[in-house]
């Protein structure tokens, strides 16, 4: 069911929220609000793209799978962006597998409608391209980060990114899921989480993560968080990492 302009403004997708009312209203009939649960796959690498998702209060993880079944996270998407930026360039096949890591709601649009809107709505199209650039900066930085920085730095960076994208300081997160996102074994995550908890930065118990000291987390993170955040601010005016 299509959503109203007032509902769209309350959705918390900060990308769509930047579009003026007179340009957003005509495109809203093509969108619907859907629930995304943890581990829901909204796009699958090598498969046709069906929908483009604009997260509202959830967080999505973008993964690349190898032939042996191993995967690595190359980026994340929250309420500052949208899935499958390759669709901007008329792609029909997904380059990444996109999985829900923090449950919540998303606005989604069918790929056919998405492509028809591109070019017809100048402000929307320009904003989508800026968001695409910001996402590419995140992917590029993630490659260097995964290769050069320690697990504790990457752990802090990942928590900061997730904290940016959820409402409040607490969210659900299992060690198994976090280990998969960081590309490490679960015991490594458990060790780092224990160190961060002892330092007073987080509280973690039974799959619930709570950020206690944001400033200390930023100090513990590598420079990659701030580098990507600056790109989002420059391109979109949104403080997201």
Reported pTM: 0.88
Say how far apart CA 139 and CA 65 lie, in whole Å: 15
Query: What domain range includes position 133?
Result: 5-145
Q: Are residues 162 and 127 in the same domain?
A: no
Q: Are residues 160 and 136 in the same domain?
A: no
Between CA 122 and CA 132, with CA 128 as vertex, the angle to 5 degrees is 145
Q: Are residues 122 and 69 in the same domain?
A: yes
Residue 234 in any domain: the answer is no
DSSP 166: S
Q: Burial letters for 56-76: b for 16+ Cβ neighbours within 10 Å, e otherwise?
A: bbbbbbbbeeeeeeebebbbb
Residue 207 in any domain: the answer is yes
Q: Are residues 78 and 110 in the same domain?
A: yes
Instruction: Kindly give the confidence (pLDDT) of every residue in the chain, 241 residues in length, as a single tens digit, with 9 standing for 90 and above.
Output: 668 888 888 888 888 888 888 888 899 999 999 999 989 999 999 999 999 999 998 999 999 998 888 888 888 999 889 999 999 999 999 999 999 988 999 999 999 999 999 878 888 898 999 999 999 998 999 888 888 999 899 999 989 988 888 778 888 887 777 777 777 787 888 888 889 999 999 998 888 899 999 999 999 999 999 998 888 888 887 655 4
Q: Are residues 140 and 189 in the same domain?
A: no
Query: What is the CB neighbour count within 10 angstroms for residue 27?
Result: 18
| Beta partners for residue 62, in sequence order | 75, 98
- Write the CATH number for 116: 2.60.120.10
Q: Are residues 44 and 17 in the same domain?
A: yes
Among the candidates 122, 145, 168, a domain finishes at 145
């Amino acid at each position: 069911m299509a959503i109203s302009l007032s509902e769209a403004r309350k959705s918390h997708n900060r990308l769509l929220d930047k579009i003026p009312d007179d340009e957003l209203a005509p495109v809203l009939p093509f969108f619907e609000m859907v629930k995304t649960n943890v581990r829901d796959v909204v796009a699958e690498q090598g498969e046709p793209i069906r929908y483009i998702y604009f997260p509202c209060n959830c967080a999505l993880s973008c993964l690349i799978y190898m032939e042996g079944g191993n995967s690595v996270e190359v980026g994340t998407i929250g309420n500052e962006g949208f899935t499958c930026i390759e669709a901007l360039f008329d792609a029909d096949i997904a380059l990444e597998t996109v999985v829900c890591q923090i449950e919540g709601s998303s606005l989604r649009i069918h790929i056919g409608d998405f492509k028809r809107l591109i070019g017809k709505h100048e402000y929307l199209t320009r904003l989508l391209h800026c968001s695409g650039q910001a996402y590419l900066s995140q992917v590029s930085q993630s490659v260097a980060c995964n290769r050069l920085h320690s697990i504790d730095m990457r752990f802090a960076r990942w928590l900061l990114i997730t904290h940016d994208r959820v409402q409040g300081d607490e969210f659900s997160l299992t060690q198994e899921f976090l280990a998969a996102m960081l590309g490490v074994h679960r015991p490594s995550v458990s060790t780092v989480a224990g160190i961060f908890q002892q330092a007073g930065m987080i509280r973690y118990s039974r799959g619930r993560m709570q950020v206690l000291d944001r400033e200390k987390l930023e100090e513990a993170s590598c420079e990659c968080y701030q580098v990507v955040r600056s790109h989002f601010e420059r391109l979109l005016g949104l403080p997201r990492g």
